[in-house]
Amino acid sequence: MATVKLDPVLSSKQAKQLFGAKSTGSPQSPHSIGSYAKGCQAGAVQLPETGPTWQAMRLSRNRNWGQPELIDYIQDLSRKAAGQPGWNGLYVGDMSQPRGGPMLTGHRSHQTGLDADIWMLPADDLTLTAAQRENISSISMRRSSGAYTNNNWTRAHHEILKAAASDPRVARIFVFPGAKVQMCKDEKGDRAWLRKIRPWWGHHYHFHVRLNCPKGDKSCVDQSPPPAGDGCADAEQWVRNILNPPPPDPNAPPPKPRRELTMADLPNQCAAVLSAQ
pLDDT of residue 10: 60
**Domain assignment of residue 158, yes or no:** yes
Q: Can you tell me whether residue 197 is helix, strand or coil?
A: strand
Question: What residues contact residue 111 under an 8 Å CB cut-off, 6+ apart?
Answer: 34, 35, 36, 37, 38, 39, 40, 41, 96, 100, 101, 102, 103
Question: Are residues 104 and 140 in contact, defined by beta-carbon separation less than 8 angstroms?
Answer: no
Query: pTM here?
Result: 0.93
pLDDT of residue 255: 84
Rounded mean pLDDT of the chain?
94
pLDDT band at 12 (very low <50, low <70, confident <90, very high): low
Across the chain, how many H-helices and E-strands are there?
8, 13
Query: For the domain that residue 197 is a member of, what is the CATH number?
Result: 3.30.1380.10
Closest to 180 measured CA to CA, from 166, 192, 195, 160: 195
**Domain assignment of residue 64, yes or no:** yes
**Domain assignment of residue 97, yes or no:** yes
Share of the chain above pLDDT 90, in %: 87
Number of domains present in the structure of the chain: 1
pLDDT of residue 69: 98
Dump pLDDT digits (tens) for 109-129: 999 999 999 999 999 999 999
Share of the chain above pLDDT 70, in %: 96
pLDDT of residue 256: 85
pLDDT of residue 107: 83
Domain limits for position 178: 45-242
Query: What is the length of the chain?
Result: 277
**Domain assignment of residue 227, yes or no:** yes
**Domain assignment of residue 28, yes or no:** no
Do the strands 31-35 and 38-42 form a parallel or antiparallel pair, or are they unpaired? antiparallel
pLDDT of residue 8: 53
Q: How far apart are the first and last CA of the chain?
A: 15
**Domain assignment of residue 6, yes or no:** no
Q: Is the pLDDT confidence value at 4 over 60?
A: no
* Radius of gyration from C-alpha coordinates of the chain: 19
**Domain assignment of residue 264, yes or no:** no
Half-sphere exposure for 232 (CA within 13 Å, toward CB): 12
Dump pLDDT digits (tens) for 128-164: 999 999 999 999 999 999 999 999 999 999 999 999 9
**Domain assignment of residue 38, yes or no:** no
Q: Is the pLDDT confidence value at 220 over 60?
A: yes
Strands of the chain, DSSP E: 31-35, 38-42, 45-46, 50-51, 54-56, 65-66, 90-92, 115-119, 142-143, 148-149, 170-175, 197-199, 206-211
**How far lies 36's CA from each of 73, 167, 219, in Å?**
17, 19, 12
Dump pLDDT digits (tens) for 47-93: 999 999 999 999 999 999 999 999 999 999 999 999 999 999 999 99
